[in-house]
């Protein structure tokens, strides 16, 4: 069976006055029906741009999708007409954005926000759309849904607004929900409410989810598979338990080792990844992580490692020395230990 969504060699650049920003550099992944794919990365890793590209939401200019294919139901979304892509957005693939404070229009009621996609995409009448809006708000757990339709966004709290955003995303029963840092900026107790909501909805409605985040801990719970991005490349991609227990890329290892963890004994010192992410207007040839990598060798300077299969099925790493990473991890016994051995100054 072919996957629900297939991203192939997606490349997006921004042509700015300061130079060409290489935001996404040939990434490929698949999304199966009903699964949750986590995309993890730090700021500037290209995680948001990659999904905005497949939804064709990149402002052009300065942005340009230079290469690649995004296959959904046998069609390439990157070649689809504006009409077609508008129909797919919201109808088949919906997106929930990071900042619920700014992505709702302050002068429109919550009801109006919810009715719009229903009337536009599904051709419902105003009354039908209103009834469905109430259902949607109830689905995402907003009490007193009927009365709250006439409220404005400022009358909702941050967590409630994010629920409204999710309700809007769900309006047309999409097959894919893309959530771009939907809980960033929310408090932990509210974050727990939102992740629980998405888990429940996914079970009830059977949609596939792409969850984008910088927080390794959030995707540990939600995702079936995880892709780790750095400087516009996918560095590692694996089934979730594999990735956390048996990382095969120095960057993933470093990330897992640099965060303070509640589930482990307190360490006196954290082991940070030294240095800074590269300037995306001037990515050196070779591996983009090379200047910060304790495993780097000559070859990493010269040739960029492709994302290749490792010994475990469906576990891919873009590192020439993934076998050494794996060997060291086996010797150290656990991720935190291996990470601090590798990254110790």
Partner 1 sequence: MHTNTDGEKPKPEQQERTTMDVLVEVRDLKKYFAITEGIIFERRIGYIKAVDGLSFQIKQGETLGLVGESGCGKTTAGHTILQLYRPTEGQVLFEGQDLSAMDGEELRRMRRRMMIIFQDPYASLDPRMKVEDLIGEPLEIHGVMHGKEKRERVKELLDIVGLNPYFIKRYAHELSGGQRQRIGVARALALNPDFIVCDEPVSALDVSIQAQILNLLERLQDEFNLTYLFIAHDLSVVRHISDRVAVMYLGKIMELAGWKEIYENPLHPYTKALVSAIPLPDPKMEKRRERIILSGSVPTPSNPPSGCVFHTRCPNKLGPQCTRHVPSLSDAGESHFVACHRLSRQ
Residues that bind partner 1 (CB under 8 A): 42-43, 157-160, 187-193, 195-196, 214-218, 220-221, 223, 240-241, 244-245, 254-256, 258-263, 266-274, 276-277
Cα separation, 195 vs 190, in Å, equals: 9
Residue (274 or 308) nearer to partner 1, CB: 274
Residue (117 or 247) nearer to partner 1, CB: 247
Q: What minimum distance in Å lies between the beta carbon of 114 and partner 1?
A: 21
Which of helix, strand or coil describes residue 217? helix
CA 189 to the chain's CA centroid: 21
Cα separation, 148 vs 258, in Å, equals: 43
Cα separation, 322 vs 297, in Å, equals: 12
Residue (122 or 190) nearer to partner 1, CB: 190
Residue (142 or 318) nearer to partner 1, CB: 142
Q: What minimum distance in Å lies between the beta carbon of 128 and partner 1?
A: 31
Q: What minimum distance in Å lies between the beta carbon of 42 and partner 1?
A: 4
Q: What minimum distance in Å lies between the beta carbon of 221 and partner 1?
A: 4
- Whether 179 contacts 198, CB under 8 Å: yes
Q: What minimum distance in Å lies between the beta carbon of 110 and partner 1?
A: 16
Residue (188 or 313) nearer to partner 1, CB: 188
Burial letters for 294-324: b for 16+ Cβ neighbours within 10 Å, e otherwise?
bbbeeebeeebbebeebeeeebbbbbbbbee
DSSP β-ladder status, 208-213 and 225-230: unpaired
């Amino acid at each position: 069976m072919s996957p629900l969504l297939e991203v192939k060699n997606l490349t997006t650049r921004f042509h700015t006055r300061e130079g060409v920003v290489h935001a996404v550099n040939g990434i490929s992944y698949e999304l199966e029906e009903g699964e949750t794919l986590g995309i993890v990365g730090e700021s500037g890793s290209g995680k948001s741009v990659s999904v905005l590209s497949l939804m064709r939401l990149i402002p052009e200019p300065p942005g340009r999708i230079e290469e690649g294919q995004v296959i959904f139901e046998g069609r390439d979304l990157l070649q689809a007409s504006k009409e077609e892509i508008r129909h797919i957005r919201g109808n088949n693939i919906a997106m929930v954005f990071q900042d619920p404070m700014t992505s709702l229009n302050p002068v429109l009621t919550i009801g109006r926000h919810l009715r719009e996609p229903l009337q536009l995409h599904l051709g419902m009448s105003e009354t039908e759309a209103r009834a469905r809006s109430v259902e949607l708000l109830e689905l995402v757990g907003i009490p007193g849904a009927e009365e709250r339709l006439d409220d404005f966004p400022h009358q909702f709290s941050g967590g409630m607004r994010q629920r409204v955003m999710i309700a809007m995303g769900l309006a047309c029963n999409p097959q894919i929900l893309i959530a771009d840092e939907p809980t960033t900026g929310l408090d932990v107790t509210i974050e727990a409410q939102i992740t629980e909501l998405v888990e429940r909805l996914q079970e009830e409605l059977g949609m596939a989810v792409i969850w984008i985040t910088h927080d390794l801990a959030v995707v540990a719970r939600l995702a079936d598979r995880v892709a780790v991005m750095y400087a516009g490349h996918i560095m590692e991609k694996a089934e979730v338990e594999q990735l956390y227990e048996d990382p095969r890329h120095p960057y993933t290892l470093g990330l897992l080792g640099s965060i303070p963890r509640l589930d482990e004994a307190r360490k006196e010192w954290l082991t940070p990844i030294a240095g800074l992410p590269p300037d995306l207007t001037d990515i050196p040839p070779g591996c983009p992580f090379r200047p910060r990598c304790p495993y780097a060798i000559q070859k990493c300077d010269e040739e960029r490692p492709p994302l290749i299969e490792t010994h475990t099925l469906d576990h891919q790493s873009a590192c020439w020395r993934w076998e050494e990473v794996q060997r060291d991890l086996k010797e150290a016994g656990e991720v935190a230990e291996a990470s601090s051995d590798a990254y110790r100054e």
